[in-house]
Chain A
């Protein structure tokens, strides 16, 4: 009996040690995981929360609820912009990027795999309440398309282009419209990082004159246009417009597949918070970026797909509880996007919730001693109402 007591004491000390380990460092989570492996019968949490299948093309219903890993160098290449800020922090903390495979994304993947590139581009709209995972589902899709070698045209948050913009210039191309040099140049930089390899392959099909001294000849690679936009910030907006126009025109030819991914597409048809110097409000279509983007999400081209999300977070002049398509898009937006496939992204179902908790536990994110008990899980379920965003925020405190 004394021996038993001793072993029990030792195992308890081990456990305490593990706890200390977790508190002190975030280094080598694999070690800790291995430690835990020895302590606890481990096949259930791993199988529930993770899958080793890291190619989105092979994700299917059997992977539903499981997290798959995106290698970190892929992350930089595919998502120079576009991941939600809290997720970026999580990636930095855990030192790995794992996305959960969920039904809406699986559904979209299925449609995309069966895309008929000769038909006009189909529009898919992800909608749902705040914090349910629309942006991350979009990122899942983008990862898939990047792996399949599509050209990704990703606008991470269209709301950024309709609010808080300084330095609006009158457009040189069309006097009625306004340029946004800062936003355009930032976007061009990120676009270049994401699609490096295409920029030399695609050639522009007409000559563009920037000013008296500079012009881009017909047949030169698209990368030149992008460079021009990045270096000469004044022409950045026009550069964006040209990029969009060329891509739209050429995707139909079949050299590449084009994915247009816009997060917060309802910004294109809402109101802006921007005003001119005489304090008169600016309508979205008077902004050259918005005007050109609207042309991109119409279905008068083929050779790709258009995936959009509606987002109330960051939108202007929309009530907080609004999430349904017609509420956020308005009449004009709905009529422009019609016909589209609406895909609802909802809160976690029990399996996904369990998987998420397991993932956090594995990464030692939940330090509270009751976190892994049934009661603790029930409490978290109740508090977060299975809303993924809310759960993430709650777990950040534990």
Chain B
């Protein structure tokens, strides 16, 4: 009987998964209610409810362009008979292959996102659209958002492989909001070096002012002095020196910029 049906199935589904078909063909589809001569059996064979023959799995009848969200509309455990993919999972025995999906506990244990295919998500969005309002046109840049809504909560999701589904890093949630005490942040707390208002800026300003005074050139003002290219180079080199630490390139850059600034040949 099985052999006769085999080519018919193949004809039905051109992209035939021969292996699967083979396996279903091979799997014991029917169990004839042959009584096994056991003494512990209480009921006679005719009283026992007849078990139905197992139907072929639903996957046989699935078209390639079917509506998948209707197969898995919600989060549901993995049903091997409803998922037409020849998925294998499990650690293989010696010279073996991972187990097939039928009766595979591993596939049941892990979470699946079969209910969240892009098509499904698009449908959700379409459905939700009628409940949404427009983004306020006035909030068109980041600063305005910050100003009106200073509280920001940042969550992060991680995709990782490991023994557990959960990733401990995903538990970290940051709340961003400027608090009163943050105004007391001192220079020692700064994460990176900011040149404005630093002692380096003051020093260089002093030095340059004195140089100018020596040359009897008293009509320069602060912005002009700080705006020259040499000072700009110097600022860059000091920032890189402080942020990156000492190494040959930062030190030589600093040296060159100081030399140019102080007019040393």
Residue ranges of A at the interface with B (Cβ–Cβ < 8 Å): 110-111, 114, 116, 118-120, 122, 299-300, 302, 324-327, 335, 338-344
Contacts and interface: CB of A to CB of B under 8 A. Distances in A.
A325 B251 contact: yes
B245 A335 contact: no
Given A118-B215, A335-B199, A340-B258, A326 B241 contact: yes
Contacts of B258: 339-341
B261 A326 contact: no
Contacts of A343: 255
Interface in B10-37: none
B234 A341 contact: no
Interface in B208-251: 210-211, 214-215, 234, 238, 241-242, 245-247, 251
Given A114-B264, A326-B245, A341-B264, A302 B259 contact: no
Given A326-B241, A338-B203, A342-B251, A118 B259 contact: no
Given A119-B214, A339-B262, A340-B258, 13 more contacts: A114-B265, A116-B263, A119-B262, A120-B207, A120-B211, A324-B251, A335-B199, A338-B238, A339-B234, A339-B258, A341-B262, A342-B251, A343-B255
A282 B239 CA distance: 32
A114 B259 CA distance: 12
Nearest to A120: B210
Contact of A339 (B198, B203, B247): B203
A344 B251 CA distance: 9
Given A118-B214, A302-B214, A339 B207 contact: yes
B112 interface: no
Nearest to A335: B199
Contacts of B199: 335, 338
A contact patch SS? mixed
Nearest to A114: B265
Q: Which of A118, A119, A326, A343 has the most CB of B within 10 A?
A: A119
> Taking each of A120, A122, A299, A327, which has the highest tally of chain B beta carbons within 10 Å of its own beta carbon?
A120
Contact of B264 (A111, A324, A335): A111
Interface string B169-198: 000000000000000000000000000001
Contacts, number: 63
Contacts of B62: none
Contacts of A300: 206, 210
A338 B200 contact: yes
Nearest to B254: A342
A106 to B, nearest CB: 14
B237 to A, nearest CB: 10
B194 to A, nearest CB: 13
Nearest to A339: B258
B229 to A, nearest CB: 16
Contacts of A342: 251, 254-255
Contacts of A338: 199-200, 203-204, 238
A327 B246 contact: yes
Contact of B259 (A325, A341, A344): A341
29 contacts: A114-B264, A114-B265, A116-B263, A118-B214, A119-B210, A119-B214, A120-B214, A299-B210, A300-B206, A302-B214, A324-B245, A324-B247, A324-B251, A325-B246, A326-B242, A326-B245, A326-B246, A327-B246, A338-B199, A339-B200, A339-B203, A339-B204, A339-B207, A339-B258, A339-B261, A340-B258, A341-B255, A341-B258, A341-B262
Nearest to A343: B255
A138 B258 CA distance: 21
A328 to B, nearest CB: 10
B158 to A, nearest CB: 37
A132 to B, nearest CB: 15
Contacts of B210: 119-120, 299-300, 302
A120 B263 CA distance: 12
B115 to A, nearest CB: 57
A326 B234 CA distance: 17
Interface in B75-124: none
A110 B259 CA distance: 13
Contacts of A111: 264
A116 B212 CA distance: 13
Nearest to A118: B214
B203 to A, nearest CB: 5
B252 to A, nearest CB: 8
Given A118-B215, A119-B210, A342-B254, A335 B262 contact: no
A74 B244 CA distance: 45
Contacts of B265: 110, 114
A119 B207 CA distance: 9
Nearest to A115: B264
A299 B207 contact: yes
A110 B264 CA distance: 10
A337 B177 CA distance: 38
Given A326-B241, A340-B258, A341-B258, A335 B200 contact: yes
A111 B246 CA distance: 23
A343 B145 CA distance: 50
Contacts of B254: 342
A25 B259 CA distance: 50
Nearest to B256: A341
